[in-house]
A = this chain, B = another copy of it.
Amino acid sequence: MQHSENTILPSLEQLEMLRLFTEQLVKPNDEEWAEFTSCMYLKHIPKKGFFLRAGEVCTSVGFITRGAMRFYHEKDGNEYSGNFSFENNFVTDYDSFLTRKPSLYSFSALEPTDIIVFHYDDVQSLYNRSKLWERFGRLIAEHIFIEVQRRKNSLVFDSPEKQYLSLIKDRPKILERIPQHMIATYLGITPVHLSRIRRKVAGK
């Protein structure tokens, strides 16, 4: 009864979203897919609700089928955004999940959000039982590594203006669905500075 609050199962539509995502990386047969689905739980997070709060250990990985989440760090009463996730992406503090140490960050919903949740023990069990899911785990880790590596290099090598222009091109959902002051702290700058950049960029 460990996961009693999450024992609602995902809908066929939600399952299909995850299946399409998964098949970009591996091709599970029916048995393997059954193993996978057998450890899913559905979780709904209302707007302003939390997936994880700073200080807690992140014990699960979530696949977002609807909504938007951000993770942020609190310092001196201010919130600094680390990243944003939307439908068809994962939400987790994978560092905390893997190391089983308390997270430094909170994850909250910016919109009503539906998540398919996998718990730590079930994930490890999939890895142990199956070469296919072991490979899936590797490919996922490689993908998120590439993503965060590019983001890190952009922070060091690119000006905030260039980062903002990249955001417009590569992640338009952020511009459309996230308030500007949150985007500013995501870029490591103040809302005032971002507003100045926008004015400068608009005049071109």
Residues of A whose CB lies within 8 Å of any CB of B are: 73, 75, 80, 82, 94-95, 98-99, 104-105, 127, 131, 134-135, 137-138, 141-142, 144-146, 148-153, 155-157, 185-186, 188
Contacts and interface: CB of A to CB of B under 8 A. Distances in A.
A142 B95 CA distance: 9
A188 B155 contact: yes
B127 A135 contact: yes
13 contacts: A73-B157, A82-B157, A94-B146, A95-B146, A99-B146, A105-B153, A127-B135, A134-B135, A134-B138, A138-B138, A141-B141, A148-B152, A152-B152
A149 B73 contact: no
Given A127-B135, A131-B131, A134-B134, A145 B141 contact: yes
Contacts of A141: 138, 141-142, 145
Contacts of A105: 153
Contacts of A80: 156-157
